[in-house]
Amino acid sequence: MRRPTGRQTLTTPPRFPMANYVFEPVPAPSLPINGTDRLFPVHRVYCVGRNYAAHAIEMGHDPDREDPFFFAKHPGNLLVGADFPYPAETSDVHHEIEMVVALGSGGTNIAVDNANDCIFGYAVGLDMTRRDLQAQAKKAGRPWDLGKAFEHSAPCSAVVPAAEIGHPDAGEVLLKVNGVVRQQGDLNQLIWKVPEMIAYLSRYFELQRGDLIFSGTPAGVGPVQRGDRLEGSVAGVGSLELSVI
Ligand code: MN
């Protein structure tokens, strides 16, 4: 059997022949590209917290501009489809409607002025959150993974290329539950703008093509129940419809 050898760098993970794996790797998650049969292969999923002042206030925090903070979901947490299964071990699942930034290239120490060059496109996502578990973690000073990074916790629309829509920095961010408006904001209210988020993240991580960044949610987060119908949209980007099952 051929042994994999050769130089390995962070930016180019080694490719091994399929026969070297002890079992078949789980397929890499991907998102459809709007209006095509092509796919956006996902590498990592970064999420920014408290990026709209009104949401920071509703969660009990000072909306002053502090450094952005991030948490992660797993690429395997993405949900492409119309049904969101109510997750286990919670009785308080919240919706968070967000614009999602999809990177086509990455790097480290990216300048704010160059950040948009890394963006392949945009999508509409929901940062579904087991709020009860997140609250317990916050109280205990523990990581948020149980509250944030669970199966199907990142429903996401198709990616719309920036080549088609440009780089939206204003436009309504809306979520309706059963036809009633629950969340309403505007991209122009983002505390940390998209290029600033990319620049900041790239100081701490090596960003890669295929990375997604959930950009934060406006005020109005709240619980969903089985049977609820969620309709989210970001003006100029697209929409996302979901049933809680
Ligand atoms: Mn969020």
Ligand 1 centroid to residue 112 C-alpha, Å? 22
Q: Is residue 119 situated within a structural domain?
A: yes
Q: What is the mean pLDDT of residues 210-237?
A: 97
> Given CA atoms 54, 176, 33, 44 in this order, what sign does their dihedral have?
positive
Q: Is residue 24 situated within a structural domain?
A: no
Strand order in the sheet with 172-177: 83-84, 238-244, 229-234, 172-177, 180-186
Domain tally, the chain: 1
Ligand 1 centroid to residue 212 C-alpha, Å? 13
Q: Is residue 191 situated within a structural domain?
A: yes
Q: What is the mean pLDDT of residues 172-181?
A: 98
Q: Is residue 197 situated within a structural domain?
A: yes
Is-contact 194 117, C-beta < 8 A?
no
Ligand 1 centroid to residue 125 C-alpha, Å? 9
Ligand 1 centroid to residue 15 C-alpha, Å? 34
122 vs 101: CA distance, rounded Å? 5
Q: Is residue 25 situated within a structural domain?
A: no
Tell me the pLDDT band of 12, cut-offs 50, 70 and 90.
low
Ligand 1 centroid to residue 167 C-alpha, Å? 20
Tokens representing 123?
């999508």
Q: Is residue 220 situated within a structural domain?
A: yes
237 vs 166: CA distance, rounded Å? 10
> Model pTM?
0.92
Ligand 1 centroid to residue 37 C-alpha, Å? 29
231 vs 227: CA distance, rounded Å? 13
Q: What is the mean pLDDT of residues 89-104?
A: 98
Q: Is residue 19 situated within a structural domain?
A: no
Q: Is residue 108 situated within a structural domain?
A: yes
**Tens-digit pLDDT profile for residues 28-51:** 899 999 999 999 999 999 999 989
CATH of the domain at 77: 3.90.850.10
Domain hosting 203: range is 33-243
Q: Is the predicted pLDDT of residue 244 greater than 50, yes or no?
A: yes
